[in-house]
A = this chain, B = another copy of it.
Amino acid sequence: MKFFAEIDIMPQKEILDPQGKAVKLGLHNLNMDTIDNVRIGKHIRLEVDAASEEDARTTIDAACRQLLANLIMEEYSFTLKAA
The count of residues in chain A whose C-beta lies closer than 8 Å to any C-beta of chain B is 34
| Contact of A27 (CB < 8 Å), options: B20, B38, B40, B67 | B67
Please tell me if the beta carbons of B42 and A46 are within 8 angstroms of each other in the complex.
no
- B residues within 8 A CB of A62? 32
Task: Work out how many copies of this chain go into the complex.
Answer: 2
Taken together as a complex, chains A and B put the C-alpha atoms of A8 and B39 apart, in Å, by 12
B23 with A35: CB separation less than 8 A:
no
Q: Is A44 an interface residue (CB 8 A)?
A: yes
**Do A46 and B37 have beta carbons less than 8 Å apart?**
yes
Residue A63 interfacial (CB < 8 Å): yes
B residues within 8 A CB of A44?
20, 23, 38-41
Distance between Cα atoms of A10 and B8 in the complex (Å) = 12
